[in-house]
Chains A and B, each alone.
Chain A
Amino acid sequence: MVFTAEDYWLIALMSILVIASLAMYFIKDLVHAVIVFGAYSLIMVVIWLLLNTPDLAITEAAAGICTTVMMMVVIYRTNRREE
């Protein structure tokens, strides 16, 4: 099986996705976790672009930012630290 340059980019980006998801689980400060979630969705946008779906990339960018904002508001209403 021959890997092209695009495949190596995809593997690198997807490993960043795995690291970001694990980081979200282990980080105790919820604001930091939400920022990592924003980075996750940004990496996801690049992956959608590499997979030739700009439609989903735009939706992911908009929805990712919107979820980040909503989670920030929820943290503002509740506790910042996870017990």
Chain B
Amino acid sequence: MRDFILKRVAAVILPFVCVYGFYVIFHGHISAGGSFAGGIIVGLSYIAFSTIYGIKKGRAKMPDKVLTWAESFGTLWYGIMGMVGISRGVPFLANKLAGVDLGVPGALFSGGLIFYIGLGVGIRVASTMITIFFTLMEDDRENAA
């Protein structure tokens, strides 16, 4: 898997894959896709990086601490965004009721809180995918001792 052509092609393509994943996350409420699909695409770009460049380099780019924090932060962010409604005296996860500015329909910032909720879900899904991959690829001999 340590092929020169593969590495150079991956170096050109993978950043665009990652950015496309974030595009799908951010445009989840106005076009096709969503935070789940976008999160998987972001995660897949890192999975492809660590299969092509070796699991060691992939782990160096995404340490366990970052993954743990991103996973917890994604879930917590969803809860915090839901609490915005409660702090205004309306139900959990309320959007327009909570007085959030909805903006012009069709524009990027037209969903109120949904944009920020999607960011949290996307980060959570991406880090979960990377964690599952790293856990499966883990070398047993390191943990045997």
Among A39-61, those with CB < 8 Å from B are 54-55, 57-59, 61
**A6 CA to B72 CA, complexed, in Å:** 45
**A45 CA to B124 CA, complexed, in Å:** 24
**A70-B136, A73-B133, A73-B136 in contact; A59/B34 too (CB < 8 A)?**
yes
State how many angstroms separate the Cβ of B39 from the closest Cβ of chain A: 9
Contacts of A57 in B (CB 8 A): 32
Contacts of A69 in B (CB 8 A): 44, 47, 51, 133
State how many angstroms separate the Cβ of B92 from the closest Cβ of chain A: 25
Please give me the residue from chain A that is nearest to B135 by CB atom. A73
* Count of inter-chain pairs, beta carbons less than 8 A: 41
Chain B interface category by residue count: 10 to 19
Type the 1/0 row for B80-101, where 1 means its CB is closer than 8 Å to any CB of A: 0000000000000000000000
Return the contact of B44 from the options A55, A58, A59, A66 (Cβ within 8 A): A66
Return the contact of A70 from the options B32, B33, B132 (Cβ within 8 A): B132
Contacts of A63 in B (CB 8 A): 37, 40
Type the 1/0 row for B37-54, where 1 means its CB is closer than 8 Å to any CB of A: 110110110010001000
State how many angstroms separate the Cβ of B104 from the closest Cβ of chain A: 22
Type the 1/0 row for B102-145, where 1 means its CB is closer than 8 Å to any CB of A: 00000000000000000000000000010011001100000000
Contacts of A65 in B (CB 8 A): 44
Cβ B37 vs Cβ A58 within 8 A: yes
Type the 1/0 row for B17-35, where 1 means its CB is closer than 8 Å to any CB of A: 0000000100000001110
Can you show 29 pairs from A to B with CB atoms below 8 A apart? Answer: A54-B32, A55-B32, A55-B34, A58-B24, A58-B34, A58-B37, A59-B33, A59-B34, A59-B36, A59-B37, A61-B37, A62-B37, A62-B40, A62-B41, A62-B44, A63-B37, A66-B40, A66-B43, A66-B47, A66-B129, A69-B44, A69-B47, A70-B132, A70-B133, A70-B136, A73-B133, A73-B136, A73-B137, A74-B136
